């Protein structure tokens, strides 16, 4: 099945969109309804104690889901997040993070999916469930 977007289009989108650019997200893989991103470590991400802050994981999950939706609905899709539930399972210190998202259902009005943030070696850090509304 061909995707509604190409990896090159997504890389450009991540570089040109202000909220995504701030985190330096890098596309790892793109599949049908799936996306894998890397969040390169930045000192600005650290909270006291040297742990990567929660909003970094949440932003990664949200952007990975946003990109996964674009693989089905195209670049012009204007769907937005209406709900996100995040479970923090482990912490990361001074490390890049990988975030993998997967669409579970694309309905007429709502889109459901999950995302997980992991370390380079696959240790699960966070689990997210997301709901987007189609505009």
Domain spans of the chain, in order of start: 7-133
What secondary structure letter does DSSP report for 44?
A: G
Choose among 125, 62, 21: nearest CA to 70.
Answer: 62
Q: Is 32 helix (H, G, I), strand (E, B) or coil?
A: coil
**What's the gap between Cα 99 and its chain centre?**
6
pTM, two decimal places: 0.94
**What's the gap between Cα 114 and its chain centre?**
10
The tens digit of pLDDT for each residue in 50-109 reads 899 999 999 999 999 999 999 999 999 999 999 999 999 999 999 999 999 999 999 999
Q: Is the pLDDT of residue 11 over 90?
A: yes
Q: How far apart are CA 55 and CA 34, in angstroms?
A: 21
What is the CATH code for 7-133? Answer: 3.10.129.10
């Amino acid at each position: 099945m061909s995707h509604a977007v190409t990896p090159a289009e997504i890389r450009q989108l991540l570089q040109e969109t202000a909220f995504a650019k701030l985190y330096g997200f890098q596309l790892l893989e793109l599949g049908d309804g799936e996306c894998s991103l890397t969040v390169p470590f930045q000192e600005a991400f650290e909270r006291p104690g040297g742990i990567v802050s929660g909003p970094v994981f949440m932003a990664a999950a949200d952007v990975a889901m946003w990109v996964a939706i674009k693989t089905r609905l195209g670049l012009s899709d204007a769907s937005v997040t209406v709900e996100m539930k995040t479970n923090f399972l482990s912490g990361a210190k001074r490390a890049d993070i990988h975030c993998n998202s997967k669409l579970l259902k694309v309905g007429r009005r709502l889109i459901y999916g999950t995302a997980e943030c992991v370390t380079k070696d696959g240790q699960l850090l966070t689990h997210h469930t997301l709901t987007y509304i189609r505009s």
